[in-house]
Amino acid sequence: MKFSRRRIEEPDINLIPFIDVLLVVLIFLMLSTTYSRFTELQINLPAADAEKLRERPGEVIVAVAADGRYSVNRKAVDGRSVELLAAELSAAASGRADTVVIISADAMAAHQAVVNVLDAARRAGLMRLTFAAQTAGGAAR
């Protein structure tokens, strides 16, 4: 009697479904990643729960550091006077009346430094003001 030996087949590993799943996970991670803005001054924003602004017309971002230094549109302001800050805000607004001033003040910034920004915006004729804050999770709004 002649017995035939059974051939043992090597299992094939199909990598195509694995690659498909990895690409879907990669796309999901890319879409769900939050991108935060970096300013010249390192500031910690206070937390607030509000809805994001959908449309942004002309905007000027004023950063107030914890030690009272100012930055207008990522450009450091040399002094700390209201007049100098008002001149920087006027130059950054370029004469547009609908410009929104976004105040990004550090949570530890002095109240007077933020009031100086409000006063400088009034002197520059910029009446639309808002404050930047971060959610409790840490993402900037």
The SS3 assignment for 87 reads helix
- Reading the chain (141 residues) residue by residue, the pLDDT tens digits are 667 777 777 878 888 999 999 999 999 988 887 666 555 667 777 777 766 555 455 888 999 998 888 999 888 888 888 889 988 888 888 877 788 999 998 888 888 988 999 999 888 888 888 888 877 665 555
Angle at alpha carbon of residue 122, lines to 120 and 126, rounded to 5°: 105
Where do the domains of the chain lie?
59-131
pLDDT value of residue 10: 80
**CATH number for region 59-131:** 3.30.420.270
CB 141 within 8 A of CB 52: yes
pLDDT value at position 91?
87
E-state strands within the chain? 59-64, 70-72, 75-76, 100-105, 128-131
For residue 24, give the H/E element and its range. Answer: helix 16-32
Whole-model pTM: value is: 0.57
Please say whether the beta carbons of 70 and 77 come within 8 A.
yes
